[in-house]
Amino acid sequence: MMLAAAILIPMATAVLCLMLRRRAAVARLVSLAGAVALLIASVLLLVTVLQGGPVAAQMGGWPAPFGITLVADLLSAAMVLITGIVAVAVAVYGLADVTRNEERRGHHTLTQALLAGVCGAFLTGDMFNLYVWFEVMLIASFGLLVIGGGKAQIDGAVKYVGLNLIATLAFLTGVGLLYGATGTLNMADLHGIVPGRQDEVAILGAAALLLFAFGAKAAMFPVFFWLPAAYHTPSVTTSALFAALLTKVGVYALLRVFTLVFDAGHPSIQAVLLVGACLTMAVGVLGAAAQNGIRRILSFHIISQIGYMVVGLAIYTPLAIVGGIFYLFHHIVVKANLFLIGGLIARRTGSEDLDRIGGLWAARPWLGVLFLIPALSLAGIPPLSGFWAKLLIVQASLEAELYIVAAVALVVGLLTIFSMSKIWLEAFWKEAPAGTPAATGTVPALGAAATAALLTPALALAAITVVIGLMPGPFFDAAQVAADHLVTPDAYVRAVLGGASP
């Protein structure tokens, strides 16, 4: 019941928002209330899992592996919790950022549908059901991307839709092959069948197709180009939501499927993952260096950071997986925050193009401090959360004697500092260029309520970053338990196939 709540709450909120689409003021609050309810439900779910281990629920009462199973181990529960946090942050920020026009065209309905899809993907225990939740998430994100209706949005959406549909079809074919080879699609059931048969052509083929599909969703090299084409085009609220959650669902799917079903330690899978992850890190950060818009720089950094998470899976030692999971949590918070703050900078200066803004340090020093927290965390400066995440990954790669990987991770970290300092220098220290709104003081002022709505979520997320950074212990322990659940999924399998239901 608790498991389904995380999916049912956003769905019910989506229905309510659809009914209330002509009363924007009410729909806005309903959407916020739905996000808060999701957060509460996710906290309850996390507490349950922390106390009693993985829980499972069979939809319609059909026993696994015949019915659809929802299942939460610590990784799933934590991902749902962080989804709840992002949902609330984005809903609050949206109070002052989403335009009336976007609201009328279903911003709240689509956002909630997206959340339902994301939570569904985190909680399902069935391959085909995972495909369905991916689609729910995808079609909602298509809608969110184009409701503004601008040329750049439509152009970005064409590329986003195109590549994601190809990935979707690869996913579907992979699922089909897997079913043909094993006769089941329940992940816990597959765990008992696949590992011994990894070298069969059909199973390895399915693994390759799924790797391509999840890699494309996670924006891995070489199938990442949909992301920088699309993420900077919609409203800040929407792009923060995308940046925080969409690619991470791909990473989650990689983590889940390539530990539980397939074995990422299989030589050919591991080679692809390692090379792909390193190239992803490098290409992302180099791409960012060539950009000039704040959100475009940040979009490329998502790609580079995805590389770190996947490298954690690719090294495939317990420590590396802990690092990957820790990175995943830290990055969702930091990246959502950076997009929100990027939006704040644009609001204060009238543009997000670094050539057209400047002088923010003199005008708004607090905004600078607020920006520095997630920016330095992203680059991996101690004592912020990103430092511990990077430390774990580098340590794990050194222990596994993968020195090239460690070197790439360190160099990419340095280049990340370069990108962040570029934003800092251009937006904060440089004088505002003559003739721009920032210099002439013609930027529309923000009301007190709007400032509060825009600032509160950024502050809260920055606080989370600092807390993780200063007290990494409990989070590290939690990541360790989550990694244990992944590497030795006995409790997970028992929860699903044992028929136990909370």
Partner 1 sequence: MELILAALVGLLVAAGAYLMMSGYLVRFLFGLVLLSNAANLAIFAAGRLTYAAPPLIPEGALAPGGPVGNALPQALILTAIVIGFGLFAFALALSFRAYNALGTAEMNAMRHAEPVPAPTPTAAAETERPA
Partner 2 sequence: MNSLILTTATRALAPLLLVFSVYILLRGHNEPGGGFIGGLVAATAFALLEKAEGVARARRLLRLRPLTVAALGLGAALLAGLWGAVAKGHVLAGVWPLIEKTADGGKSGLPVGSVLLFDVGVYLVVVGAVCGVLFALEEAATALECEPDEGGAGRGGGAPKTIDQTMDRTIDRTVDGGDR
User: For partner 1, which is the closer residue by CB, 238 or 465?
Assistant: 238
Tokens 């939809």 belong to residue: 59
Distance CA 303, CA 282 (A): 9
What x/- string results for residues 223 through 252 when contact with partner 1 is judged by CB under 8 A?
-----xxx-xxxxx----------------
Token pair for 267: 């030589």
Judged by CB under 8 A, the stretch of 109-117, 174-182, 307-315, 465-473 that binds partner 1 is 174-182
Judged by CB under 8 A, the stretch of 114-122, 319-327, 352-360, 366-374 that binds partner 1 is 352-360
Q: Can residue 293 be called a binding residue for partner 1 (CB under 8 A)?
A: yes
Judged by CB under 8 A, the stretch of 16-24, 89-97, 367-375, 468-476 that binds partner 2 is 16-24
Q: Can residue 94 be called a binding residue for partner 1 (CB under 8 A)?
A: no
Q: Can residue 356 be called a binding residue for partner 1 (CB under 8 A)?
A: yes
**What does residue 293 show for φ and ψ, rounded to 5 degrees?**
-95, 145
Measured from the CB of residue 485, what is the shortest distance to partner 1 in angstroms?
A: 28
Distance CA 86, CA 65 (A): 33
Written as one string, the DSSP assignment of 325-354 is: HHHHHHHHHHHHHHHHHHHHHHHHHS--BG
User: For partner 2, which is the closer residue by CB, 135 or 353?
Assistant: 135
Q: Can residue 437 be called a binding residue for partner 1 (CB under 8 A)?
A: no
Distance CA 502, CA 483 (A): 23
Burial of 363 per CB tally in 10 Å (0-12, 13-18, 19+): middle
Distance CA 76, CA 82 (A): 10
Q: Can residue 19 be called a binding residue for partner 1 (CB under 8 A)?
A: no
Tokens 């339902």 belong to residue: 116
Measured from the CB of residue 165, what is the shortest distance to partner 2 in angstroms?
A: 19
Partner from partner 2, partner 1, none binding residue 288, C-beta < 5-8 Å depending on class: none
Comparing CA positions, the residue from 425, 422, 264, 397 lying closest to residue 327 is 397
Burial of 270 per CB tally in 10 Å (0-12, 13-18, 19+): middle
Q: Can residue 440 be called a binding residue for partner 1 (CB under 8 A)?
A: no
User: For partner 1, which is the closer residue by CB, 54 or 174?
Assistant: 174
Partner from partner 2, partner 1, none binding residue 417, C-beta < 5-8 Å depending on class: none
Distance CA 140, CA 333 (A): 22
Tell me which residues in 109-138 interact with partner 1 (CB under 8 A): 128, 131-132, 135, 138
Distance CA 195, CA 266 (A): 9
What x/- string results for residues 145 through 164 when contact with partner 2 is judged by CB under 8 A?
----x---------------
Q: Can residue 494 be called a binding residue for partner 1 (CB under 8 A)?
A: no
Distance CA 47, CA 53 (A): 10
| Contact residues for partner 2, defined by CB under 8 A | 1, 4, 8, 11-12, 14-15, 18-19, 21-22, 57-61, 104-106, 149, 501
